[in-house]
Amino acid sequence: MTGMGSTLDYRVQPGTALVGRIRMPGDKSISHRALLLAALAEGESVLEGLSTGTDVSAMAVALQALGTRMEAGAPGCWRVHGGPFRAPDRALDLGNSGTAARLLIGALAGCPFDTVLTGDASLCRRPMRRIIAPLQAMGAQFEAAPGDTLPLTVRASAGLAGLHYRCPLPSAQLKSALLLAGLRAAGSTCVTESVQTRDHTERLLEQFAGPPSAAATRDAYGYTVCVQGGTRLRAARLQVPGDFSQAVFFIAGACLAPGSELRIERVGMNPSRTAALEVFRAMGAAIEMEGEAVLSGEPIMTLRVRHTTGLHAASIAGELAARAIDELPMLIALSACLPGCTRLRDATALRTKESDRLQSLQEGLQAVGIRVEGLPDGLNVYGAQPRGGVVHSHGDHRMVMAFTMLALAAAQPVRIVDCDWVQTSFPGFVGLARQAGMVVQEQWGQ
């Protein structure tokens, strides 16, 4: 993401309030899935409000290499002409996007041609074994780099068989990969989870298969979801709601900065995504919700967030940690500014993200004067006012945004090193932060 030995750094001034009305970019998780299902569906789909980050762009480029015709309109708007995939003439480079890689591994399993998936150095270090093992049980064949990482070849297949798989660890990407493969498999494919993960794939299958739909059915308890092989997908028109995971950064900033009163409009409020709200409320945050509506099968609301005194640490563990896994970097950075000890447990999944996020959080918080104890599956964070200083992003967009918001509560400015990674998920982050009142300077460093 950087070049010529320079890095894009942020210098954030503490003490400014977040005020006004803002709107988040399109939800990244939904954007990936909407593009992929539109490519698999018959006919022309119209998709609006997609994330414009480079992660989703990598998915779009990969689908075009697989023969999908796509026409770009306004930013975040695409017309997608779906149909059967064809063999690409090159490896599919997915950049830094683990979501694109894992979803495409599932969607390409069962295709009658070989496909090579690769990515940047960070993505090529991330393990794919938990995705490819159950797909192999369905009959898919792969050749992976040592350690079951990318580059990875999805081998041509004569066909897949349905499978009932029990996930050993919660993973929406694993579940989605198996459901996508199940669309090509003989019989039904079922995935059982111990914790219900985000269900965007299931909701989108309803949009593309049409209700009543046998494309994705869930048991009465919500922990098993099944797809029927050969389900016909048809083109759809979709609008993608604002990304709740991105809204979490601005919720936390408004909680931290005295004088803040911020409205975040049209945020996706899928109940499988909003576990972070439970943590905010446990910390004593003042968050109100208004204007409930439904957008393309997803609930949306406007969030009103005010700074309030009396915020305090709240521990995170078990099912709550699993459901809030993507929001944990910001929640832990917020807790570092609050009185008390936050105990994070059951978060080993953070070690295999864009960075080892437990280690990145520990180093970053210690760099601004916060006492932290590292554990194999979590952290103990002893809240205090950050003193300011220099934090390294470790090539992780969520680290950049979490420490940008933490800086609002610091005694001195905070510089975050190597921030260009924000382009992968939230290219308008700095502009939106400034619109809300923050003072963020972009500087080139060495």
What residues contact residue 344 under an 8 Å CB cut-off, 6+ apart?
315, 316, 317, 321, 328, 332, 378, 379, 380, 381
- State the amino acid at position 161 in one-letter form: A
Q: Are 360 and 394 in contact (CB under 8 A)?
A: yes
Residue 53 is which amino acid? G
Q: Mapping DSSP to helix (H, G, I), strand (E, B) and coil, where does residue 412 land?
A: coil
Q: What is the β-pairing status of strands 164-166 and 188-192?
A: parallel
Options 9, 27, 199, 326, the catalytic residue = 326
- Strands 78-82 and 43-48, bridge-based pairing: antiparallel
Cβ-proximal residues to 384 (8 Å cutoff; 6+ apart), any chain: 336, 337, 369, 370, 371
Residues 22, 262: contact at Cβ < 8 Å?
Answer: yes
DSSP string computed for 304-358 = EEE--TT-----B-HHHHHHTGGGHHHHHHHHTTSSSEEEE-S-GGGGGSSS-HH
Q: Is 143 exposed, middle or buried (0-12, 13-18, 19+ CB in 10 A)?
A: exposed
Catalytic residue status for 89: no
Tokens read off for 399:
């680290």
The residues, any chain, with a CB within 8 Å of residue 72's CB and separated by 6 or more, are 78
Residues known to be catalytic: 326
